[in-house]
């Protein structure tokens, strides 16, 4: 409670508008066992018997129905976990502590060189990116090779004999962001969960995705993305967001996290203070978030509040300038941002977004960003552009007084505590690669949305043509159409619109990622699919052939079609 009092006082001084709104929630998290965020059912209005197309709309503020079996995530290390971490960190040199707060990447297949760097700098572990993934002779990921690489890097990180596992992380959200490909299950975009509107299904999917990571040696995934999207002007998040509705993004994000943790993989809720409502891509430049703290608290921060209440172990801060908190500084390097996050009651590990992104490197070269982030309140620094430079800068900053040694100690203890707790409590649920294919297909079948068009019967008379998308999309569509009993080469024209695509003509327009391009389409029938997996195309083909309904609802507005549009 002393910690809460300190955070609350700091919060009042820094931005009083937020303090009143968040103090009660933060106090509750100190005194009571938190539960999942409240949610309500998505109502559907009856379809008009004369309307063609026949769609219904639900209120944009509605949230998916709750899972009666939902429990808090469980973040809450016991005293023995904290004691073990504190004792180990107390014995570390400054160099060792500096390594424990860095999570680096490496290029290509330079595994042994990276293992040597991990050992030399005492690094916390590693993140695996797409170019690190070994390929099998026949194509796809070499599953055994990936597991061997992770085992080698974990071994390198454990050479100091510390009493916790190394962090072996990956960025695997599903949809556009998936560093690991086949034979792992291919998942549709996270927006599918918002369209499906089912908390239990999101939880099941989180567990299914994470279960296939466990046999490969991964224990941390930078997912789920709980940003609240504002629609077409959001260039970075888009279909990575589950919904434009804060309540839906909150309940679905908690559920997905619960599933991941149940499988034995640490989830990471991202990107505080909210990346879905800025209009610049932080991979290239620094976005500015013009909203007030009150506006952020009522929209972008709702999913983070829910995750905190449920006990999220880790949250990622984004490279977003928020003048209402600190003008000119990315949130990931800003003290008021971390004060706000702690003021909401967060007790876990605060990790930065990748420090090699343009929003940071263009302003803070060398190891500057690493020191700034730590001093601001970050605990784990993800992907510094040069891990050696970042490590040296941290050590030098402590030696010269530029970084308080107590701040480095606190950050190292938080990371160590999380991994001690996880190592003691995780009961990994390992699943073979590809075993969740049926579940992924069920997600897409639950999400496919009729934005404009009839809600029953076949949309094509036994035959169909296809255009647009990528060549691979068309191949998958044709295979799915054949499985659904449709012939190819004649009949209505289906126009596929992929990521970054624009509105299309034809008879039936299908958005494969975010649904925004449908607002510019002249096709009379408009369908949002939210994915390009085989399961997603099977769901589409079944709807076209009249063999299955399109039960999804738009999780965000698309031009004149409000959030909630869909068949009854």
Q: Which residues contact 471 (CB under 8 A, 6 or more apart)?
A: none
On whether the CB atoms of residues 42 and 58 are closer than 8 A, the answer is yes
Residue environment code for 34-69, b if the CB has 16+ CB neighbours within 10 A, otherwise e: bebbebeebebeeeeeeeebbbbbbebebbbebbee
Q: Which residues contact 129 (CB under 8 A, 6 or more apart)?
A: 105, 171, 179
Given the DSSP bridges, would you call strands 326-330 and 321-322 parallel, antiparallel or unpaired? antiparallel
d(CA 231, CA 68): 31
d(CA 65, CA 193): 12
- CA nearest to 236, candidates 473, 500, 447, 496: 500
d(CA 11, CA 415): 24
d(CA 153, CA 167): 9
Q: Is 353 noted as a catalytic residue in this protein?
A: yes
Residue environment code for 319-355, b if the CB has 16+ CB neighbours within 10 A, otherwise e: bbbbebbbeebbbbbbbbbbbbbbbbbbbbbbbbbbb
Asked if omega into 271 is within 30° of 0 (cis), the reply is: yes
Q: Which residues contact 116 (CB under 8 A, 6 or more apart)?
A: 156
d(CA 414, CA 392): 21
Residue corresponding to tokens 């760097």: 117
CA 98 vs CA 102, 269, 357: distances in Å: 7, 24, 21
> Of residues 234, 353, 379, 473, which has the active-site annotation?
353
On whether the CB atoms of residues 395 and 367 are closer than 8 A, the answer is no
Residue environment code for 552-564, b if the CB has 16+ CB neighbours within 10 A, otherwise e: bbbbbbbbebebb
At 95, list the tokens. Answer: 């160099």
> Of residues 142, 283, 386, 534, which has the active-site annotation?
283
Question: Rounded to the nearest 5 degrees, what angle is found at the Cα of 124, between the Cα atoms of 121 and 128?
Answer: 105
On whether the CB atoms of residues 383 and 355 are closer than 8 A, the answer is yes
Q: Is 275 noted as a catalytic residue in this protein?
A: no
Catalytic residues: 283, 353
């Amino acid at each position: 409670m002393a910690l809460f009092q300190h955070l609350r006082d700091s919060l009042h001084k820094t931005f009083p508008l937020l303090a009143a709104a968040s103090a009660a929630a933060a106090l509750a998290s100190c005194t009571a066992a938190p539960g999942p965020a409240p949610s309500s059912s998505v109502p559907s209005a009856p379809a008009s018997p004369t309307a063609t197309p026949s769609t219904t709309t639900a209120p944009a503020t509605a949230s998916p129905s709750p899972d009666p079996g939902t429990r808090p995530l469980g973040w809450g290390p016991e005293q023995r976990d904290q004691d073990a971490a504190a004792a180990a960190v107390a014995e570390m040199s400054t160099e060792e502590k500096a390594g424990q707060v860095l999570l680096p990447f490496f290029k290509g297949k330079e595994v042994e060189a990276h293992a040597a760097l991990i050992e030399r700098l005492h690094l916390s572990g590693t993140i695996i990116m797409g170019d690190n993934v070994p390929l099998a002779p026949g194509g796809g990921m070499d599953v055994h090779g990936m597991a061997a690489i992770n085992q080698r890097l974990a071994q390198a990180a454990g050479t100091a004999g510390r009493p916790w596992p190394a962090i072996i992380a990956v960025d695997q959200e599903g949809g556009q962001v998936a560093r690991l490909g086949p034979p792992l299950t291919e998942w549709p975009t996270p927006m599918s969960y918002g369209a499906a509107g089912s908390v239990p299904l999101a939880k099941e999917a989180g567990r299914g995705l994470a279960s296939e990571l466990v046999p490969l040696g991964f224990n941390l995934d930078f997912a789920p993305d709980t940003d609240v999207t504002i629609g077409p002007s959001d260039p970075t998040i888009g279909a990575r967001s589950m919904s434009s509705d804060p309540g839906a993004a909150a309940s679905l994000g908690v559920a997905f996290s619960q599933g991941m943790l149940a499988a034995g993989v640490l989830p990471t809720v991202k990107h505080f203070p909210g990346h879905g409502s800025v209009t610049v891509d932080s991979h290239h430049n620094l976005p500015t978030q013009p909203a007030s703290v009150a506006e952020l608290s009522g929209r972008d921060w709702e999913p983070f509040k829910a995750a905190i209440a449920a006990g999220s172990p880790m949250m990622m801060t984004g490279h977003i300038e928020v003048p209402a908190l600190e003008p000119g500084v990315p949130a990931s390097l800003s003290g008021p941002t971390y004060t706000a996050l702690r003021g909401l009651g967060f007790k876990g590990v605060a990790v930065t977004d990748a420090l090699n992104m343009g929003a940071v490197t263009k302003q803070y070269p060398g190891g500057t960003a690493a020191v700034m982030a730590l001093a601001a309140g970050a605990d784990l620094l993800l992907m510094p552009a040069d891990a050696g430079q970042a490590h040296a800068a941290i050590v030098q900053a402590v030696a010269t007084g530029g970084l308080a040694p107590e701040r480095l100690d606190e950050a190292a203890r938080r990371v160590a505590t999380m991994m001690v707790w996880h190592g003691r409590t995780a009961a990994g649920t390992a699943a073979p690669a590809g075993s969740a294919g049926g579940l992924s297909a069920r997600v897409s079948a639950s999400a496919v949305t009729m934005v404009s068009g009839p809600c029953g019967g076949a949309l094509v008379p036994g035959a169909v043509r296809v255009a647009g998308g990528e060549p691979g999309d068309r191949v998958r569509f044709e295979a799915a159409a054949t499985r659904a009993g449709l012939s190819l080469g004649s009949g209505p024209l289906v126009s596929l619109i992929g990521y970054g695509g624009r509105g299309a003509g034809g008879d039936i327009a299908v958005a494969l990622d975010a649904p925004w391009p449908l607002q510019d389409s002249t096709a009379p029938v408009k369908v949002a699919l939210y994915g390009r997996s085989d399961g997603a195309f099977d769901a589409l083909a079944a709807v076209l052939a009249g063999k299955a309904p399109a039960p999804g609802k738009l999780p965000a507005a698309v031009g004149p079609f409000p959030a909630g549009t869909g068949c009854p």
